[in-house]
Structure 1
Amino acid sequence: MRNSKWMTAGAAGLAVAAVLSACSGGAKSNGSASGNGGSSPSGSAAASSSASPDAEKTISLKVVSQTKYAPNSVPNEYTKRTQEKFNMKWDYQAIPLSAGMDKYNVMFASGDYPDFIPNMNQWNAVRKWAAAGYLLPIGDYFDKLPNYRKLYTDDQWKMLQDFTSVNGKVYMLPFITTTYDPQTWLYRKDLFDKAGIAEFPKTTDELTDALQKLKAADPNFIGIGVRGGSGNTGVKNLLISFSNTFRVPPDFSGSTGWTSFWHDPDYDNKLVFAPATDKQRAMLEYLAKLYKAGLVQKDFATSTEDQFNQNRQNGKDALDFQWVSQIVSLEKQNEGADWDYAKGFVSDAGIGKNPLMFKGPDFALYGSIFSNKLADQPDKLDRLLKYIDWASTPEGTLFNQMGVEGLTYEMKDGLPVYKDDLDRKKVLEQYGFDYYITKNDDALKTDPTYAIDQEAAPIFKAIDTVLAENAPMSDEDTDTVNTVMTGVWNEVYQFATKAIMGVVDVNDDKVWQGYLSDLNKVGLDKAMAIYQKAMP
């Protein structure tokens, strides 16, 4: 087991983390939480805080949060203490990531949308809502967010305005990343050893052989595990598993700065839509072979995230493609499992080139968005901006990420650590706390996921890397792209699902040409013309 490496935070581990902290993410430090005595808003402390708007009237706000995990109850400690500190009354609802986007889309389509979403994780939806006039151009109020601005270097700040602009305005406060957490193959080393696989495969042929050995060694093995969810989540995540191998940008709905329109070096830097290239076809051909041999999770297209987690815990999932930091929680959930991560991506002989790393800016295109209605409600907007700017300070980031000292965490050697058996998931579920603007520096130093991220970072930063390109567009062009690309992506994933499952033969030229024709029927040619103007 590797638990002793990542599950403890002894003096030596803290010292290493403290040194590495200065190198993470390229962002400016958000300071030391311990310098504030680990304070959090509670009781009389809230009334005495300089950030608390004493003697101001109570402000009512509708808040909807796209949490990673669903809180057990609302209101909870997070909502109650935040409302008390800033004299706000929240009509609060949590709609977790696993629930998809349907409820959010209904809210905006009906006009009954929230004043504030602290953590929207769907950049394409943000662009659409901004272009439709639903969102407040928060960039016009940056002067009221000095602490948020301090989280960014000057170069990062310019990049923020380049990548998050819609119609020339900024409508989102992105999450600033302070760690480098790459996606790669996570695998059960103990099950690999049992099947006689000495090391993780380096090529697609070796991967096929390894999967066959795992299947022969354990009849319960389901093949490559896939993190499912609503809509096209399953097939999307399966394709992401091989995007680096086949040099096809992964689709994270724009949250990484990548849109799948890019100047592909394999096509003489011609602007292409990646899912319409021969490399996408080659990836589907390979996946179809794996699926036919029973080496990919059979229900990848319809499974849920809960099923994914269950398969990991019961040993049916011996490998999947996820973020390196997840190994810590995996080993905590099953102390008998020895999880490890592949130190790179597998290559494919047919592609004939090394895998690529697709890197976005030093922030994620998910974060806080605000209703356009606030423009005519200055009292509400000012109060909300005070909260956001406080939430960008060391005190605020500690509160959002870790909760309350004595309740959810305690201080050890001047650094915050979760109490008892609490972790991020339990603290969110039981108390409602979770980070959304950035992570707290001091909390990172005691976080075992930070140690493994720092170990993996130099390995993956050494891989050939391509940077995301910005694509500035006019109002009209943005509207057109937002409209047509919904249909295009649906066509991409419906075809991919059928191709992988063998419903259609991707090797048949007539089938492939029919797919390309269908993409243009739903508007790919229109989107391509716009991107050619935006990315000459």
Structure 2
Amino acid sequence: MFKKSLTLGVSIILPLTLVIGCSESSDTPSPSTDAVSSPSSGKYDKELTITVSRAILDASTVKDDLEAKMLKEKFNLVFKAEDYSRNDWATKMTLMFSTGDGPEFIPYSRDQWKSVEWMSSGYLRPFELDEIKQKLPNYLKIWSDEEWDTVLKSTRFSDGKLYFLPNKRTIPVQTAWQYRKDLFDKYGLKFPKTPDEMIDTLKTIKDKTGLIPFVVPGNSSSPLWAVSTFFQMFGFPDLLLTWNSYVDPVTKQFYAYPLATDQSRDILIFLNKMYKNGLLMKDFATATADQTNKLIAQGNHVIAQTINDPSYMDGQQKAAAPDVKWAWVDNFDHPSSDPKKTIYKKESYYSFWGPAIKKGTSQEKVDRLLDYLNWAVSDEGQLWYTYGKEGVTYEQKDGVPAFLPTMSTPTQAQGDKLANFGINIGVIGLGGFITPYKSFDETFNKTKLEMSKVIPSKPGYYGPIEPILQLSDADRKKLVGLETTLNGVRDEYWLKFIMGALDPSNDADWKKFMDAANKAGLPEVVKLRTDAYDKANKS
């Protein structure tokens, strides 16, 4: 069906998103038995073909589809996959579901990708709690009782049922500022401690080098994703474009829609200064990953709030800047508009994505999928999805798996990716459903593990909280419709403020925004979200 498989394009964010693949060829030899355990005798005698739909971004040639071989050998499963552009995937899926079609298995569903709409319309099959306990014991083992209680309350639908299996985050603090230490040292600069210092420092680097200091691609869901990395400097969570609401962990105050309140004027004034001084790429709202990767490879981009290892950042720019040296910010400090507060990104227990199954899928196929998913989160499954096949993608060194030198890793940008072996397509692995193998974080995320101990213990550090909301089905549908309109108005006016068509410090211009937001349903959104928050936190 496909001569090439495609992989989710997140190499600039995390080069090791590990996921599901499909068979490229039927005449490839079977894998050796050391790749996976043999299937249970007789249990999987019947081959099952399951239709799968995957959201992808960049093409990646599959040279040897190890994933398809594993599925066949271990579970006698064949995934008949159709891949769609990530930007079109949700629309295509909704259309297929609405016409009675659609895949039986989705390895990766997201709220922002219409999955709530699919739940509401009855397209997805719920995972019953008793079923999870009986069929997915390995999945429940990865959560503490407190974590699972929070995850279930946060991700269940308005009918109280769970329609996808959330992914567990393994590191509570993954993101911190990094910078081109070689340039900062060359010009006698220190990493900025405040937003004003950020602008002055980046202006100096731009004037000295001609480089664009901040280069990040936009996102199809909102052009503001490119600049959301600066939200936390002003007390907002960087995921506010997804959450829309947040809770202040110190005051416990709930903010229903702060991006259309006076709270957001300071950040807009800051972003306007960044844009006016050429510190942001001019087309940040529309740039593609290919465009930004090209600029970064040319040496542009000198600061980043990122989860990447510094050596990976070095690898992106080494050709254009042989002396490049990225580094984490000393003491993990974060520039803030309040000198008494240094805000970090505190990860939630889970990611709002995970596998889902189409309603009406036969019980035989459901049982086979549940067996597969339960294995995938076992130690054996985590090892396989984190490192691939021993001897092909990794080797054991003193009892610890290590990628072969030919492989790309979080610390080495060049080389084969697991996607080239069919293990990085559709987001079922890292970044999706499966937690990394136990040695992975110790090997590649030592700094993040250190950050997770150091940052939360420092005075003045905190992370904004994602609120739990409880909405009826009718209110959810109403809110989705209102926010689609409101978010469009927000994006339109924010871009005008950032790019200088309107002045965020001018009261008359600000009134234009608020009038448009109110007309687009801001009061109704605030009421629906506030009522849903109050309901969830009183129950």
d(CA) in 1 for partners of 2:59, 2:144: 33
Residues 458/478 of structure 1: CA separation in 2 closer, same or farther (3 Å cut): same
Residue type matched to 1:245 in 2?
Answer: M
CA displacement 1:30-49 (0-9 Å, x = unmatched)? xxxxxxxxxxx934568962
Quick check: 2:296–2:316 contact (8 Å CA) kept in 1?
no
**Aligned partner of 2:231: which letter?**
S
Partner of 1:169: 161
Identify the range of structure 1 (209-218 vs 459-468) with the bigger mean alpha-carbon deviation: 459-468
Give 1:158-237 correspondences, 5 Å limit.
158-167=149-158, 168-197=160-189, 199-219=190-210, 221-233=211-223, 235-237=224-226
Superposition deviation, residue 390 in structure 1: 0.7
Which residue does 2:286 correspond to in 1?
Answer: 302
Letter in 2 for 1:73: V
**Residue 225 of structure 1 contacts residue 296 of structure 1 at CA under 8 Å; is this kept in 2?**
yes
Which amino acid in 2 is paired with 1:131?
Answer: S
Q: Residue 330 and residue 265 in structure 1: after superposition, are their counterparts in 2 closer, same or farther (change >3 A)?
A: closer
Equivalent residue for 1:36? none
Quote how far apart the aligned CAs of 1:50 are: 4.8
Summarize deviations over 1:278-321 as a string: whole Å, max 9, x none.
22111111111221111211111111112222222221111233
Change (3 A) 1:52 1:203: farther
Decide whether the 8 Å contact of 1:69 with 1:97 is kept in 2: no
From 128, 152, 167, the equivalent of 2:117 is 128
SS of the residue 2:417 aligns to: helix
Change (3 A) 1:302 1:124: closer
Deviation at 1:397, TM superposition (A): 1.1
Q: Which position in structure 2 is the counterpart of 1:78?
A: 67
Superposed displacement of residue 491, structure 1: 1.9
Q: Secondary structure in 1 aligned to 2:153?
A: helix
Alpha-carbon separation, structure 2, partners of 1:346 and 1:322: 15
Match of 1:390 among 375, 384, 394: 375
Instruction: Measure how far apart 1:339 and its partner are.
Output: 0.6
Matched, 1:411 2:409: no
Distance in 1 of aligned mates of 2:58 and 2:511: 41
So what's the TM-score if we normalise by structure 1?
Answer: 0.82
Aligned length: 482
- Give the C-alpha shift of residue 249 in structure 1: 2.7
Percent identical among aligned pairs is: 28
Name the counterpart of 2:305. 321
AA aligned opposite 2:259: P
Would you say the 8 A contact 1:417–1:446 is kept in 2? no
SS at match of 2:402: strand
8 A contact 1:177–1:438 mirrored in 2: no
In the TM superposition, residue 52 of structure 1 has moved relative to its aligned partner by 7.1
The partner residue of 2:440 within 440, 444, 450 is 444
- Secondary structure at the counterpart of residue 514 of structure 1: helix
Counterpart-to-counterpart distance in 1, 2:55 and 2:41: 26
Partner residue of 2:135 out of 132, 144, 151? 144
1:91, 1:510 → 2: CA distance?
57
Aligned residue number for residue 522 of structure 1: 520
Maintained 8 Å contact 2:38/2:73: no
Judge which range, 520-529 or 273-282, deviates more. Answer: 520-529
Q: 2:229 aligns with which of 237, 241, 255?
A: 241
Q: Distance in 2 between matches of 1:513 and 1:187?
A: 37
1:380-529 pair list within 5 angstroms:
380-424=365-409, 426-434=416-424, 435=429, 436-444=432-440, 447-448=443-444, 450-461=445-456, 462=458, 463-529=461-527
Contact 2:105 2:355 (8 Å CA) reproduced: yes
Structure 1 CA distance for aligned equivalents of residues 118 and 222 of structure 2:
21
Shift of 1:338: 0.5
Secondary structure, in 3 states, of the residue corresponding to 1:225?
coil
Partner residue in 1 for 2:21: none
Asked whether the equivalents of residues 52 and 86 of structure 1 are also in contact (C-alpha less than 8 Å), the reply is no
TM-score (norm 2): 0.82
Distance 1:162 1:105 in 2: 26
Q: Is the CA contact 1:188–1:338 (under 8 Å) kept in the aligned structure 2?
A: yes
**Aligned position for 1:361:** 348
Amino acid at match of 1:242: F
Answer yes or no: is 1:260 the counterpart of 2:244.
Answer: yes
SS in 2 for 1:526: helix
**Shift of residue 385, structure 1, vs aligned partner:** 0.7
CA contact (8 A) 1:71 1:432 kept: no
- What is the CA distance between 1:133 and its match in structure 2? 1.4
Give SS of 2:230's match: coil
5+ unaligned residues in a row in structure 1: which ranges? Answer: 1-40
AA matched with 1:406: G
Which 10-residue stretch deviates more, 176-185 or 201-210?
A: 176-185
User: 1:54 offset after TM fit, Å?
Assistant: 4.0
Change (3 A) 1:410 1:270: closer
Conservation of the 8 A alpha-carbon contact between 1:416 and 1:443: yes
Are residues 489 and 237 of structure 1, via their aligned partners in 2, closer, same or farther at CA, if it must alter by over 3 Å?
same
Sort the Cα spacing of 1:445 and 1:177 in 2 relative to 1 into closer, same or farther, 3 A.
closer
| CA shift in 2, pair 1:263/1:411, >3 Å | closer
Q: Given the superposition, is the C-alpha separation of residues 529 and 51 from structure 1 closer, same or farther in structure 2, using an over 3 Å criterion?
A: farther
Alpha-carbon contact 2:60-2:420 (below 8 Å) kept: yes
What is the letter of the counterpart of residue 91 of structure 1?
A: K
Report the CA distance shift for 1:173/1:364 in structure 2 as closer, same or farther (over 3 A).
Answer: same
Is the CA contact (8 Å cut-off) linking 1:120 and 1:366 kept in structure 2?
Answer: yes
For 1:29, the equivalent position in structure 2 comes to none
Over 3 Å counting, the alpha-carbon distance change for 1:45 and 1:267 in structure 2 is closer
User: Does structure 2 conserve the Cα–Cα contact (< 8 Å) formed by 1:394 and 1:440?
Assistant: no
Of 475-484 and 279-288, deviating more is 475-484
* Preserved contact between residue 171 and residue 347 of structure 2 (Cα < 8 Å): no
- Hey, what does 1:532 align to over in structure 2? 530
Give the equivalent residue in structure 2 for 1:330.
313
What is the deviation of 1:71? 3.5
Structure 1 residues 484, 83: CA separation in 2 closer, same or farther (over 3 Å shift)?
Answer: farther
Aligned amino acid, residue 357 of structure 2: F
Q: Deviations over 1:40-88 (max 9, x none)?
A: x934568962557645322121112346864423982212322332112
What is the CA–CA distance in structure 1 between the aligned matches of 2:75 and 2:34, rounded to whole Å? 12
Q: Which residue of 1 aligns with 2:25?
A: none
> 1:409 and 1:121 mapped to 2: Cα distance?
31
Residues 302, 279 of structure 1: CA spacing in aligned structure 2 closer, same or farther, 3 A cutoff? same
- Contact kept in structure 1, 2:67 and 2:423, CA below 8 Å: yes
**Hey, what does 2:7 align to over in structure 1?**
none
CA distance in 1 between partners of 2:380 and 2:206 (Å): 50
Q: Secondary structure at the match of 1:187?
A: strand
- Asked if structure 1 preserves the Cα contact closer than 8 Å seen for 2:124 and 2:358, the reply is yes
Equivalent residue letter for 2:184: F
Counterpart amino acid of 1:458? K
